[in-house]
A and B are shown apart, each in its own frame.
Chain A
Amino acid sequence: MTWSDEELVAKSIGGDADSFNQLILRWERPIYALAYRVIGREEDARDVCQETFLRAFRALGGFRGQAKFSSWLYRIALNLCRDWVRRERRAPTVQAPEDMDILDLASTRGPSESIEDLVARKDLARTVERAMAHLPEEQRTAIILKEYHGLTFQEIADLLGCPLSTVKTRLYQGLSVLRRELANHELVP
C-alpha cells in the first residue's frame, strides 16, 4: 500500500521512524535536483538536501498540514539555498563535473542515440546550465520550480511569498533572457 505524504508525516509524528525514511526516499531526488539547479554545486547541493531533511525531521511536530508536505519541504530547501547564495555572496557557480557528467550521460544514453547526439545533448545541457547561471536568483528559482518541479503559478507564488503576477513576470523575463542567451548559440530562433 502506498501512503500519502500527509499520512507518512502523521505516522512519523507518531514515532514511526520508517515512515520518515519513506518520505526521504520519495523526496530526496527532487530536493537534491532543486538545490543543485539553484546553487549549481554538487557537493553543496548534497549538503543542502541533507540539511533540508534534518530540519524537516526536527520541525515535523510543527507541521500542521496547511500546505502540502512537498511545498513545506521546498520552502525549507529554498531558504537553505538562499542562505547559501547570501553566504557565498556570489551567483551560482557553474560546475563542470566532466567525468561525472560524461558517465552520467553515457549511462543514460538511449540505445538509438549515437555518440554525436549524446555529445550534442551534453553541449546543450552545459549551455543551458551556463545560461541559467546568468539569471537573477528570483527568475532562476521561478523557472526551476515551474519547469523541473511542475508547480502551478499559484503554488510558486505561495512558496516564494509574492503575487501571482510577479511569478509570471519573473518567468517571462527569465525565459526571455534565456532565449537571447540560447539564440547566441543558435539553439532557439
Chain B
Amino acid sequence: MTEMVCAYSDTRDQTLVDYLYDEMPRADRAAFTAHLTACLHCRSELEALRGVRSALEKWTPPEPQYTTAARGVSAAPQIAGQPAGRVSWWRDLPAWAQVAAAMLVIGVSAGIANLDVSYTSGTLSIRTGWSKAAPTSAATAAPAVSHADLVALEQRLRSEFDAASLQAASTPAAAQLDEEMLMRRIRALVQQSEVRQQREIALRVGQLASDVNFARQQDANWVTKNLAQLKNRTQLTQDKVDKVDYFVHQASFNR
C-alpha cells in the first residue's frame, strides 16, 4: 500500500535534499529508501527534483572573451601554454622607424587638424582649427630640416632596408617556412570561419523552424479556444431561443 500524504518526520524536506544530493549517512539513506518504496508523494517529488537537476545541467554560461591572467593582475611573466597576447606587426620594426612613423602620424594629424603651435612672450599656445587656413607667413615657411639632413636620412633608410633584406635572404629556408606556416594558419582560420558560419546558419534555420512551430501551435490553441467559446455562446443563445419559443408556445396554448 502506498501513502498519499507523507507521514515522514518534520525534517522530511531536508532529508529529501540529503537524499537527492547523496549527502547522508548510509543507514539514513537506507531508511529513506525504504520510506520511498511506500510513499508515492516523496517518490514523485524526488523524481521531479531529479528532473530539475537534469534541466539545470543544460544551463552553461557564455565563454569569457578574455583571460585575467593574460591581462595580468601583476607584472607576472607569460605562462607557458597560455596563448600569447596579440603581437603587433610594428614591434618588428627598428626603433628609429617606429619613431619616424609616429612623427609622421603626428605631423599628418597636425596638418589635417590645422594645428598651430606658437611660443611667444614665454607662453606656449596650441590652436586647432579645421576650417582655418594654414598660416603662410615667411617665418613659419622657413625649412626646419636642411637638404643635407634629408639626404642623410635617405641614405640611412636605404642601408637599414638593405641590411634587413640581406638578413632575410641569408635565411631563405626559415623565411619560406614562416610563410608556409602563416599560409597554413590563414587557411585553418578561414576554414574555421566557414564552419562557424555554416553552423550559425543551420542553427538560425533550426531556431526559426522552432519559433514558427511554436507560433503555429499558439495560433491553433487560440483558434480552438475561440471556437469552443463560440460554440458555447451559440449553445447558450440556442437555449434562450428555445426557452422563448417554449414560452410563446405555452402562451398561445393557454389562450
Chain A interface residues toward B at CB < 8 A: 17-18, 20-22, 24-25, 28-29, 32-33, 36-37, 42, 45-46, 49-50, 53-54, 57, 97, 100-109, 115-116, 118-125, 127-129, 132, 143, 146-148, 152-153, 165, 168-169, 171-172, 175-176, 178-179, 182-183, 187-189
Contact = CB atoms under 8 A, between A and B. Distances in A.
Contacts of B71: 50
A97 B62 CA distance: 9
Interface stretch (B41-49, B116-124, B137-145): B41-49
A175 B207 CA distance: 28
B36 to A, nearest CB: 16
Nearest to A58: B73
A118 B206 contact: yes
25 contacts: A17-B77, A28-B64, A28-B67, A32-B61, A46-B64, A57-B74, A102-B207, A103-B199, A108-B60, A115-B202, A119-B203, A122-B207, A128-B59, A129-B59, A143-B56, A147-B57, A172-B14, A172-B16, A175-B49, A175-B52, A179-B52, A182-B52, A182-B55, A188-B48, A189-B47
| Chain B: interface size category | 35 or more
Interface string B1-32: 00000000000011011101101000000000
A189 B48 contact: yes
Contacts of B49: 175-176, 179
Interface of A is mostly: helix
B64 A21 contact: no
Interface in B91-136: none
Contacts of B225: none
Contacts of A53: 68, 73
Nearest to B23: A153
A147 B53 contact: yes
Contacts of A143: 56
A172 B13 contact: yes
A172 B17 CA distance: 6
Contacts of A109: 199
Contacts, number: 156
B72 interface: yes
Interface of B: 13-14, 16-18, 20-21, 23, 44, 47-49, 51-53, 55-69, 71-77, 79, 82, 196, 199-200, 202-207, 209-210
Contacts of A108: 60
Which 10 A-B residue pairs are closest in the complex by CB-CB distance?
A: A188-B51, A17-B76, A106-B199, A115-B206, A36-B61, A168-B14, A24-B69, A128-B59, A21-B76, A17-B74
Contact of A24 (B44, B58, B68): B68
Nearest to B24: A153
Given A115-B205, A128-B56, A169-B14, A22 B74 contact: no
B69 A17 contact: no
Most chain A CB inside 10 Å of its own CB: which residue of B62, B67, B199, B202: B62
